[in-house]
Structure 1
Amino acid sequence: MISSFGKREYHPWWLPWLFTLSFILITFLPRSIDDTMFMDGVTYAAIARNMAQGIGSFWRPFFAHSFWLPYDNGDYFSGHPPLQFGLQSLLFSVFGDTPAVENGYNLLVLIGYIILITKIWQKLVGPNSEFRTFGWLPVLCWYGIAIVYYSIPNNFLDSTMGLFCLASSYFQLIYLKKEIDRKSTVVWPLLAGVCLVLAFLTKGPVGLYPLAFSGIYAISAHSARFSNAFRPTIIMLVIIILSIAGILAYTPARKFMTNYFYGQVMQALLQKREKAGTGWIAHLTLVSELLRSLYPHFIACAALHGLSFGLKWKISPSKMISENTVLTLLVAASGIIPMLVSIKQYPHYLLPALPFVALFFAFLLVQRFALLMAWKKQLTIIGLSIATLACWGATFQKLTTIQPDIYSANAKQLRTLVPSASTIGVCHDLFQRADIHANLQRYHRLSLTTQIDSVHYVLGDSTCLPQFDSTHDSLVALNGGYFLVIRSAAQGHH
């Protein structure tokens, strides 16, 4: 019965890390230099850029004079709290209006996740565990989730919020581990509470789920007492309450948060905003998306368990493994289950909980990975080396086959045709295209209107071509079947 592996070297410690980071590069590097992001991330970058240029402010973020969603089309953007916009605006102030800002920000977020996931792993396994050097495994499990490698380069608010949630959990873990040794300090719960406030100011109440972390730890760890979890939880609650009170005491902040709460939170709960579907099944969208993204993890578990069965390895999970498997599973559930109340669900909403999903699978896999590496050390080194080279080859192949994004390319082409910060017309059927709004604002500060008779420039496609006078209006072909109409006679155009 194998329950402990003893101290042994499985491989050069840096080789699995080299493979893991090379694997991350396959998707992250090409997506960081192609000027292509999901429209949410482009929109957030545009808001941050505007803020840096003095257009709008922290508590009155400004996107454009037009918006594709009717319930966010006010004097300023109140669809989400403004912290990420403020943070990115600082980078725009330093580096100027360049896509390198949002891409560099995504890189900082990625590095933050890698560091925190590794630190939490090391803290959970303990200082003397032979599994301490396997910090690369939860990082690999994390970035191996399709939702993660799609979302991290996309400048989502959920990425930033999730980073603050992870930091809060880490600070609580430091406190709880020290509590056992009677060397605890109140600094860690204070920092954990501050991180929860920052998570809340990034994307609202869903960022508060790590409030449950200390309690879950007390439930899952036999060496911890529930009373140990009470103190940090109370401290975090006090920090949150005081912070919210301070925010509400400041009039601009109170107005913003009121608009946000009634326009976003309440409307989502009342099913009056975007919907993942209809009926009770819509509440389970996140669960189905999660399971769909975890096929590689299930396959890896099945393969390693099958291999160990075939080789007659009898592995008994240690107390540490068992406790941490329960802990990470429950923490992940605490981040996902509350969101199932609403039917406004998108896959990237899972981002804050996914580090704990990754840690859960890493604890399921680590004993068999360790035994496999110790059993065939030379084969492991050869396999990891080949896999690393394959990652580099895949990255190079992606870099040489980047396809230009239609919407960002059109926005950049319009720089030579339309004055910056103009309001241009758009054919009625195109007004709901979020990618058009986001990219035109991000790359040329253009707003849109369907009142095409009052503007000099109109963006259209073939379906609205008959509306224009081809004998007088000029047509400029753009990418993707779009064109710009330069009208010869417009009344009151901008």
Structure 2
Amino acid sequence: MIFSSGKKESYATLLPWLFTLSFILITFLPRSVDDTMFMDGVTYAAIARNMSEGIGSFWQPFFAHSFWLPYDNGPYFSGHPPLQFGLQSVLFRIFGDTPAVENGYNLLILTGYILLVAKIWQKLLDPASPFRAFDWLPVLCWYTVAIVYYSIPNNFLDSTMGLFCLASCYFQLSYLKEESAQKQRTLWPLLAGICIVLAFLTKGPVGLYPLAFSAIYAVSTPSYGFSKAFRPTFIMLTAIALGIAGILAYTPAREFMTTYFNGQVVQALLQKREKAGIGWAAHFTLVWELLRNLLPHLIACAILYVLSFGFKWSIPRDKAVSENVLLTALVAASGIVPMLVSIKQYPHYLLPALPFVALLFALLLVQRIAFIMAHKKQLITIALSIGVLVCWGATFRKLATIPPDVHSANAKQLRTLVPSATTIGICHDLFQRADIHANFQRYHHLSLSTGIDSLKYVLADSACLSQFDLKHDSIVPLHGGYLLIVQNP
């Protein structure tokens, strides 16, 4: 065993975990205090806030009286299932209308991922394996993917859905790893099925991929036997069927899900919604994004393998590691490949599969990293200690230099100029800017309209000033070159 004594165990776990968590804070902490998120996350927070105030309901989520896309511009927001909105609305009811709600929610999601990735790592390896102490490694591999550290603070639905998917896989793994005498228990696969239903209610059919986990485990573990995967899969399918049947039996839920499926899923498959590209290459957008984001991981693998070969490190083949490499690779593929059918692909769609990509790279790296840590303890201790200090230095520097967000700042400035929950005008060329819609609704309940002639307040920029009577109308400068035109009769 590489690490056996208390001091060695502490060296192998505490300091690397401190470095890993410190590295996470570099991006997560500054992004959690700047009131700046990608417009999707701001939109979802606005919907949840509205729901908490009785504006809209769980099965009829409401964003605003305006929307920048033609697809979701109905009487209520049907672009995605409503579970995350409902969860966040509970927090809004408790804590009030504050950005701390979505930021606190993101922290809960981040914590859930860290715990589950570490727990799955420990479940994958035998209790006697010396590599169980490296549960920080898959977490570090996960958060060093640019998509992850960009997306987690951004309140994406994919983050919540991915967490439910990961929980489902963890519960299945808990069942599959139990002793044969305990396999009669249905709790683990039942919980796994419930998590899949919750993932589906967060972002639709893409949350169903954990259904393949038990079968993939049986395929990648020859000693297990494929027939043993039937029982947990059957239990999950039963739980999912009952859950979906219960949802569809409720009329408001059935009406919402029908509108969502026809407007989002079908239209995306028919290539009538947003597109990542044109032609056959658009189907592989996620593959290119994955490879681009994994470049640091591939370089790290190449360096360590070249070093181990060049210096002839004695690293025997570990059967459990090899089997789990295949398992994690296939599970990751099961979460990515089905999405390639559509050409509506964005990088954050990869989030649910990335924990298994991280586990895969951690398995590829762990033996060589363990070898280095066992033979270069003092050097690694110094390097990790310096790394912790550098991470905290970078975090404080980012906190001290947070740039203001133009659209959220403008929305907050309008609180002193425009009554809340009103519709204001906006120049036609600005209407498609989603950040304006999202932030104005999130921070001041404002809707937007291009019918500017009949509205007192209009958001403009220099390009459309000629539409107004500047001799009679008042002009209030806003951030980023925007202007509030107050039209006087």
Q: TM-score normalised to the size of structure 1?
A: 0.97
Moved runs in structure 1, 4+ residues, more than 6 A? none
Amino acid at match of 2:259: N
The 2-side partners of 1:387 and 1:344 are apart by: 39
- 1:22/1:181 CA distance change after superposition, 3 Å: farther
Q: Tell me the distance in 2 between the aligned counterparts of 1:344 and 1:5.
A: 47
Name the residue aligned to 2:420: 420
The answer to whether the 8 A contact 1:106-1:154 is kept is yes
Counterpart check, 1:100 vs 2:100: yes
Tell me which residue corresponds to 2:164.
Answer: 164
1:109-142 CA-to-partner distances (Å, cap 9, x unmatched) read 0000000000000000121111111000000000
Structure 1 letter corresponding to 2:453:
D
Q: Letter of the aligned partner of 1:95 in structure 2?
A: F
**More off after superposition, 182-191 vs 18-27:** 182-191
Aligned to 1:200: 200
For residue 306 of structure 1, what is the amino acid of its counterpart?
A: V
User: Shift in Å at residue 184 of structure 1?
Assistant: 4.8
Structure 1 residue ranges without an equivalent (≥5): 490-494
DSSP-derived class of the 1:448 partner = strand
Pairs within 5 Å for 1:7-406 = 7=4, 9=8, 11-180=11-180, 182-406=182-406
Equivalent position amino acid for 2:310 in 1: G
Q: Which amino acid aligns with 1:20?
A: T
Tell me if structure 1 keeps the 8 A contact 2:475–2:484: yes
1:85/1:6 Cα in 2 relative to 1: closer, same or farther (>3 Å)?
Answer: closer
Contact 2:425-2:450 within 8 A present in 1 as well? yes
Q: Which residues of structure 2 form unaligned runs of 5+?
A: none
Tell me the CA shift for residue 180 of structure 1. 4.4
- RMSD across aligned C-alpha pairs, in angstroms? 1.1
Which one-letter code corresponds to 1:287 in the other structure?
V
Task: Look up the SS of the partner of 2:420 in the other structure.
Answer: coil
Q: Which amino acid aligns with 2:358?
A: A
Contact 2:84 2:202 in 1 (8 A): yes
What is the distance in 2 between the residues matched to 1:369 and 1:190?
A: 37
Contact residue 3 and residue 12 of structure 2 kept, 8 A: no
TM-superposition CA deviations, 1:274-323 (whole Å, max 9, x none): 00000000000000001110111011101111221222114232110000
TM-score, normalization: structure 2? 0.98
Q: Report if the CA contact (8 A) 1:409-1:479 is conserved.
A: yes
Cα deviation 1:87-112 (Å, max 9, x = unaligned): 00000000000000000000000000
Contact 2:47–2:62 (8 Å) recurs in 1 = yes
User: Partners in 1 of 2:278 and 2:162 — Cα distance?
Assistant: 28
Structure 1 vs Structure 2: percent identity of aligned residues? 75
SS in 2 for 1:288: helix
SS at match of 1:71: coil
Residue 418 of structure 1: SS of its match in structure 2? coil
1:411-468 Cα distance to aligned partner (Å, 9 max, x none): 0000000000000000001110000000000000000000001110000111100000
Q: Secondary structure at the match of 1:321?
A: helix
Deviation readout 1:465-489 (Å, 9 max, x if unpaired): 0000010000000111100000002
After TM superposition, give the deviation of residue 222 of structure 1 in Å. 2.0
Give me the whole-angstrom Cα distance separating, in 1, the residues matched to 2:226 and 2:124. Answer: 18
Between the aligned partners of 1:318 and 1:133, the Cα distance in structure 2 is 16
- Give distance in 1, aligned partners of 2:307 and 2:263: 53
> CA–CA distance in 2 between the matches of 1:157 and 1:139?
20
**1:181 Cα deviation (Å)?**
5.7
Cα deviation per residue 1:337-395 (whole Å; 9 max; x = unaligned)?
00000000000000000000000000000000000000111111111000110000110
Q: Structure 1: which amino acid aligns with 2:364?
A: L
Residues 175, 184 of structure 1: 8 Å contact kept: no
Alpha-carbon distance in 1 for matches of 2:280, 2:179? 43
**CA offset at residue 239 of structure 1?**
0.9
Quote the Cα distance in structure 1 between the aligned partners of 2:352 and 2:12. 32
Deviations 1:161-201 (A, max 9, x none): 00000000000000000154645511000000000000000
The structural deviation recorded for 1:6 is 7.3
Name the counterpart of 1:492. none
Cα offset, 1:223, TM superposition: 2.1
Change (3 A) 1:225 1:182: farther
Contact residue 147 and residue 293 of structure 1 kept, 8 A = yes
> What SS does the corresponding residue of 1:178 show, helix, strand or coil?
coil
**Which residue pairs with 2:407 in the alignment?**
407
Give secondary structure in 1 for the equivalent of 2:425.
Answer: strand
**Structure 1 position 38, deviation (Å):** 0.2
Distance 1:182 1:244 in 2: 29
CA contact under 8 A between 2:269 and 2:341: conserved in structure 1? yes
Q: SS in structure 2 opposite 1:67?
A: coil
Contact 1:180/1:224 (CA < 8 Å) preserved in 2?
A: no
Paired AA for residue 125 in structure 2: V
